[in-house]
Amino acid sequence: MSTYSPQTPYRPEAPYRPEAPRKRAQDSSVGELLSEVTSDVQLLFRQEMELAKLEIREEATKAGKAAGMFGGAGFAGYMVALFASLAAVFGLANVMDAGWAALIVTGVWAVVGAVLFVMGRSRMRSVSPKPERTVQTLKEDAQWARHPTK
């Protein structure tokens, strides 16, 4: 299977079907023309489904990466809670030295958690739940079907 390239629309290659040379439209029967149109529509539908699968797979990958960043932010939040608790214990126990050190570590973990959260949120906003290119090509196909000579 070929891969999607953003510069050109993805269209899976049609399977090779050796056919006799096509007759002119005036020589073909209505049944033959209908059969040919049905075959073309089926091929188009299969190609559109393949494009939709590729788009959904790409979006799922982006969503997975964003979810990983949310997981990192969750772990950093856990570390903030852990060190804040240690800081409170040491702060109450020694009023100065160990408590201030623990607060500095807590501040560092808070910054790490905030950065991971912001990055995860921005990546999650770029995820699109619908296959944009497929919707666009379906609109183009419908436009062509309504006005095939334009």
Q: What is the pLDDT of residues 97-132, one digit of tens each?
A: 677 777 777 788 789 889 999 999 999 888 877 777
User: What are the tens digits of pLDDT across the range 37-65?
Assistant: 888 888 888 998 888 889 899 889 999 99
- Structure confidence at residue 21 (pLDDT): 52
Contact 137, 9 (CB under 8 A): yes
Kindly give, in sequence order, each residue whose CB lies less than 8 Å from that of residue 55, ignoring residues fewer than 6 positions away.
131, 132, 133, 134
Residue 14 contacts residue 45 (beta carbons within 8 Å): no
The H or E element containing residue 52 is: helix 30-94
pLDDT above 90 for 1: no
What's the whole-number average pLDDT of the chain?
78
- Within 13 Å of residue 46, how many CA atoms lie on the same side as its CB? 10
